[in-house]
Structure 1
Amino acid sequence: MSAPATLTDIPTLEVRHLRTHFDTRNGVLRAVDDVSFAVPRGRILGLVGESGSGKSVTGFSIMGLVDPPGHIAGGEILFQGRELTRMRPAELRQLQGNRIAMIFQDPMMTLNPVMRIDAQMIEAVRAHSKASHKQARELARDTLGMMGIPSPDERLLAYPHQLSGGMRQRVAIATAMLHRPDLIIADEPTTALDVTIQAQILSEVQTLARQHGTALIWITHDLSVVAGLADEVAVMYAGRIVEQGPVDDVLDHPLHPYTAGLIASLPSLNQRGQRLRQIPGMTPDLAALPPGCAFAARCPRASTVCGAAPAISTPAPLRQVRCFHPGQVAVSLEPA
């Protein structure tokens, strides 16, 4: 008889066959359609894809932040073995911002423009703990310092509008990290930052995941960020994960033609003076997806069999792909 699973054996997050739909005048928009993945303690999953692929809606679904006309139409979201979609709102609020945190692309989705930074961070600390005002302020100051923010005592006395855009984003990230959450969902939080600040934040986030066992989902369209940050990568297209596996394996030898197209379109892989390579065509309308493979109309490998919907297969160890014609393509992310 096998021993019962302990909390450390259970993935911090497990998403099973998640479906998030939006009811529109033009029909049902399947923003997330049969998405499954798991993120263990201390591991980082990069969730990548073009705009409109469903990656941000996946993050909002996990956080319970999908508003009408959107709704979770099926599947399970398990946080440390607990099913989030069936939790009472009060239970879910106890986890949000405490054990589960989200970092948004726009820091003003986190920061109140008419409150000082210290008031906002102290309020965030005391909402989920019995810390005194002094203890909460010290934690806020230390967390700002951890994010490499200079003169944290001065920053605490500032209002959001008195900070640069990059500084506001770093404060928003620090706020999400206040309780050392077990799971962080980051929705392209460093897109607007210069590369030096971005690299510093990525390093701090990576350290947090390793030292505190935090599971992290990093949502981005930037493959170079994923290459240096993530342990695994899941590539989304038209609401579905089309390829998943260890980050080095996927980026060096993509199996799905969409993944190969994304990597080939990177400027660093194009010769100077030549036109950038790109994936032909446009992403399909999620409210009117074609039958079969959603990528078939743009795919160089498409055949008649692609008129049916491909199932997920495992053509190599630790690799998953949703394609009838998977094939390894050797790619280097190093500049030429």
Structure 2
Amino acid sequence: MSSHLLDIRNLQTNFYTRAGVVRAVNGISLTVDKGEVLGLVGESGSGKSVTGFSIMGLVDPPGRVAGGSIKFKDKELLTQTDAEWRDFRGNHVAMIFQDPMMTLNPVLRIDTQMIEAIRAHERVSKAEAMRRSVEALGMVGIPSPEERIKSYPHQFSGGMRQRVAIATGLLNNPDLIIADEPTTALDVTIQGQILSEMQKLCRKTDMALIWITHDLTVIAGLAQRVAVMYAGMIIEQGPVQDVLDNPLHPYTEGLIGSVPGRNRRGQKLYQIPGTTPSLIDLPPGCPFRMRCPRATDVCLEVPPVTTYAEGREVCCFHPGEYQSQPTTERSS
């Protein structure tokens, strides 16, 4: 029996197109514990959003989960029936999208949508559903929630709409929320407010959170652990401060080096050379090989996943130096 809330092993999600098979998620493994905040980081096209959709069972044709295992509270999700998936979504795990209008219906009032989200999973009175909806809006910082709940989505600003989407995800007290870059389109002030609210909610409810983003500065202040994705693979993961202070994979090192900072004033920002490989025609061996300053002939082979005692994992033949010796090594 696993002690983890979410346990993903060798997950593979492909998209079958006329041009070829797009290996969007290529054999990733990760875990999330109760109350933990995990940051899932990577460039556009790295597979991080598809990972979230795979967990939710929302991969549409021509895509499908081609292999691996996703267990939630020790129950295998990939063998669920449609009815079980409907109960699972919203009730046990909720997803917050980058665009809140993917959650909100523009022609229905907020109260109608939130009450329906509760009563789809529970037999409660309309008055009780309304009370819980108002409470959820208050939790995410909506002022005068008793009045604003009667508004339509277009009557809210972008930041407030995103708060409503977060509140909708919280309605059924899920064990896990997957947030897919929900603050990317917002200004930094509103972004900071929403991140602060999410931290408070996780501490208050012991809810787990997967925060999907390309922004390492967001993860630095929010998450306990981080997993870095590249070309459909997790190439490094571990405690967030440990990874940021001492990156082992050259790609992680490049990502951190490209972030502006006060201690780099006047310096030219680092740019990772080259472009990400096509997920239809991945190069043999390490997918980062063509862009890597440490690459050698051995990188033509698929690198193993090396594990260290402190919970660090890296998928690289030439990782950076670490204070302890690796404890295990497995094929990726």
Taking structure 2 as the reference length, the TM-score comes to 0.94
1:269 CA displacement = 6.2
CA gap of 1:126–1:115, structure 2 versus 1, over 3 A, is: same
Mapped partners of 1:300, 1:230: distance in 2: 29
Q: Which AA in structure 2 matches 1:247?
A: V
Aligned equivalent of 2:63 = 70
**How big is the alpha-carbon RMSD for the aligned residues of Structure 1 and Structure 2?**
1.5
Identify unmatched segments of 5+ residues in structure 1. 331-336
Q: Deviations over 1:145-175 (max 9, x none)?
A: 1101111122211111111111111100110
Q: Secondary structure at the match of 2:163?
A: helix
Q: Secondary structure at the match of 1:97?
A: helix
CA gap of 1:229–1:169, structure 2 versus 1, over 3 A, is: same
| Selected match of 1:252 from 225, 228, 245 | 245
Q: Which AA in structure 2 matches 1:147?
A: V
Mapped partners of 1:15, 1:207: distance in 2: 26
Q: Deviations over 1:103-131 (max 9, x none)?
A: 00000100001000110001111111122
Mapped partners of 1:227, 1:299: distance in 2: 24
Q: Which AA in structure 2 matches 1:221?
A: H
Aligned equivalent of 1:94 = 87
Aligned equivalent of 2:109 = 116
Q: Secondary structure at the match of 1:275?
A: coil
| Selected match of 1:188 from 174, 178, 181 | 181
Mapped partners of 1:263, 1:269: distance in 2: 14
1:244 CA displacement = 0.5
Q: Does 1:305 align with 2:322?
A: no
Q: Deviations over 1:200-249 (max 9, x none)?
A: 22222222223322111110011011111111100000000000101111
1:270 CA displacement = 6.9
| Selected match of 1:35 from 20, 28, 39 | 28
Mapped partners of 2:11, 2:70: distance in 1: 7
Aligned equivalent of 1:334 = none
Mapped partners of 2:311, 2:267: distance in 1: 36
Mapped partners of 1:315, 1:99: distance in 2: 32
Aligned equivalent of 2:161 = 168
Q: Does 1:131 align with 2:133?
A: no
Aligned equivalent of 1:333 = none
Are the equivalent residues in 2 in contact too, given 1:234–1:241 (CA < 8 A)?
yes
Q: Secondary structure at the match of 1:20?
A: strand
Aligned equivalent of 1:325 = 318
Are the equivalent residues in 2 in contact too, given 1:270–1:276 (CA < 8 A)?
no
Aligned equivalent of 2:201 = 208
1:195 CA displacement = 2.3
Mapped partners of 1:328, 1:163: distance in 2: 50
Q: Which AA in structure 2 matches 1:61?
A: S
Q: Does 1:18 align with 2:11?
A: yes
Q: Which AA in structure 2 matches 1:293?
A: C
Q: Which AA in structure 1 matches 2:13?
A: T
Aligned length: 323
Q: Secondary structure at the match of 1:267?
A: coil
Aligned equivalent of 1:271 = 264
Q: Deviations over 1:172-194 (max 9, x none)?
A: 01100111100111000111222
Mapped partners of 2:247, 2:322: distance in 1: 6
Identify unmatched segments of 5+ residues in structure 2. 324-332
Q: Secondary structure at the match of 2:241?
A: helix
Mapped partners of 1:153, 1:12: distance in 2: 34
Q: Secondary structure at the match of 2:122?
A: coil
Aligned equivalent of 1:140 = 133
1:199 CA displacement = 2.1
Mapped partners of 1:70, 1:203: distance in 2: 35
Q: Does 1:58 align with 2:56?
A: no
Q: Which AA in structure 1 matches 2:224?
A: D
Q: Does 1:227 align with 2:248?
A: no
| Selected match of 2:75 from 82, 87, 102 | 82
Are the equivalent residues in 2 in contact too, given 1:22–1:71 (CA < 8 A)?
yes
Mapped partners of 1:91, 1:315: distance in 2: 37
Q: Secondary structure at the match of 1:58?
A: helix
Aligned equivalent of 1:289 = 282
1:316 CA displacement = 5.1
Q: Does 1:241 align with 2:202?
A: no
